[in-house]
Amino acid sequence: MESGYVTTPFGRRPMSLGMLASQQLAETIEPGMKRSKWKLFRAICEARPALGVSDRALTVLDALLTFYPDDEISEEKGLIVFPSNAQLSLRARGMTPATLRRHLAVLVEAGLILRKDSPNGKRYARRDRAGAIGEAFGFSVAPLLARAVEIETLAAQAVADRELLRVTRERLTVCRRDISKLIAAALEEGVSGDWEGISAMFRALLARIPRVATAEDLALHLDEMGLLRAEVVNMLERRIKTKKIDANESQIEHHKQNSNPDSTYELEPSFETKQGEKAAADNDPNAGPSDERRLKQQKPSGGMSNRAEGAADPGAGPGLKSFPLGLVLQACPSILDYGPGGSIGNWRDLMSAAVVVRSMLGVSPSAYEEACSGMGPENAATVIACILERGGHINSPGGYLRDLTRRTERGEFAIGPMLMALVRANGLTARHAS
């Protein structure tokens, strides 16, 4: 270091043990050591939280480094910069003198620069006859060179921590998505299980995740989410295995019935009864009871009706499954404002609110009646609530409702994925009916 001795600050500024330690550290620079000032400054920016400096203080350090004449900091080229307050303020984006002094003190306290004050407190340099600087008074950047390895290590650790946080957050996001969609699939397929309790547990885990979390916090929540996901997957896999076993047993029984050599008939194909076939059977004196049973089991002309094909609850429409009212209100909290008295306590209240919202959205009475007929009144009200929740994303609510009705009749539409998508979009914080 240029000074070679302890220097104290000018004026009323006190001396501290931290300043003394920084001066002693600055004297331990290894011979021939040098660093690019801008690469070192980038490392300081990465390690800023660990170094305990603010972004404004780094703006002042950036301005100070612009006064260093070379790109590389080294003892051979000098370690003192001596800008005036006016010039330093200009290069610090017009920072006021009072603010400038405060952040210079922060840099000194953090051990990134040293003061080398002149007898009168001015910053200047004495030059010899050849123009070379003999002695300079101002700010020394020697601590930057002395702490270069430490700063670079802190910067590398900060980058690694940030990458770990990013990866952990991504894994947690994927795990959350998996659980949400697996629960939706279970509800849609009618898999037996306490899905209400699992959904409540899932929401509780989500509520415990802090808004500003460290990698360690997210790792703990990821472990809990992973256990819940594994449990959901196991329940679904058991259902798949059960269905496979049932299918195998059905095939074995089917084979036993058809392999009987004494059987007088084969199973009927699943096509429609031809005209005159039943009449011919009635007039056939050889037609036995088994023939009559076969004709009764065949489909009537024109095919099976939509309601018979649906095999669903009569109030849910053909082939369309109803969902719990609580889940509907959780996914569509906006519908609550249109219920009787501003609340919805049962399906009748929801259907009354849907009539009000239907008129407000410009959905024609005929479109809504077709939806009630095709989906069932409860599911039609649920779809209206979903359309209201999506707001401006749907240009023509009436046309959209008619399209969903037609898709329901073809067996191409399910409400479950729509509800779960809205639950996720609302951040699982939707209001519940009182």
* 141-194 pLDDT tens trace: 888 888 888 999 999 999 999 999 999 999 999 999 999 999 999 898 888 888
Answer whether 169's CB lies under 8 Å from 218's CB.
yes
- Position of tokens 């989410």? 225
- pLDDT value at position 8? 60
If you average pLDDT over residues 219-242, what whole number do you get? 87
- pLDDT value at position 231? 87
Query: Does the pLDDT at position 274 exceed 60?
Result: no
If you average pLDDT over residues 216-245, what whole number do you get? 85
Cα separation, 306 vs 321, whole angstroms? 15
**The pTM of the whole model exceeds 0.75:** no
Cα separation, 68 vs 70, whole angstroms? 6
Q: Give first-to-last CA distance, the chain, whole Å.
A: 74
Query: Does the pLDDT at position 410 exceed 60?
Result: yes
Residue bearing the bigger pLDDT, 254 or 235:
235
Bin 203: left if φ > 0, else alpha if -120 < ψ < 50, else beta: alpha
pLDDT band for position 419 (50/70/90)? confident
The total number of residues written for the chain in this structure: 434
Query: Does the pLDDT at position 26 exceed 70?
Result: no
> What is the three-class DSSP state of 118?
coil
The amino acid sitting at 424 is R
The separation between CA 218 and the C-alpha centre of its own chain, rounded to angstroms, equals 13
- pLDDT value at position 295? 32
Determine which helix (DSSP H) or strand (DSSP E) holds 80, and give its type and residue range: strand 80-81
Cα separation, 315 vs 258, whole angstroms? 39
Of the listed ranges 120-134, 162-176, 290-304, the one predicted with least confidence: 290-304
Cα separation, 136 vs 332, whole angstroms? 71
Cα separation, 285 vs 59, whole angstroms? 106
Query: Does the pLDDT at position 228 exceed 50?
Result: yes
| Whole-number average pLDDT of the chain | 76
Query: Does the pLDDT at position 58 exceed 60?
Result: yes
- pLDDT value at position 310? 33
- pLDDT value at position 169? 92
Percent of the chain with pLDDT over 90: 23
Q: How far is CA 144 from CA 5, 23, 38, 51, 107, in A?
A: 18, 12, 11, 12, 11
Q: DSSP for 335-356, please give it.
A: GGGGSGGG---SHHHHHHHHHH
The amino acid sitting at 309 is E
Q: Which residues pair with 35 in a beta bridge?
A: 73
Q: How many CB atoms neighbour CB 282 within 10 A?
A: 11
If you average pLDDT over residues 360-387, what whole number do you get? 90
- pLDDT value at position 98? 92
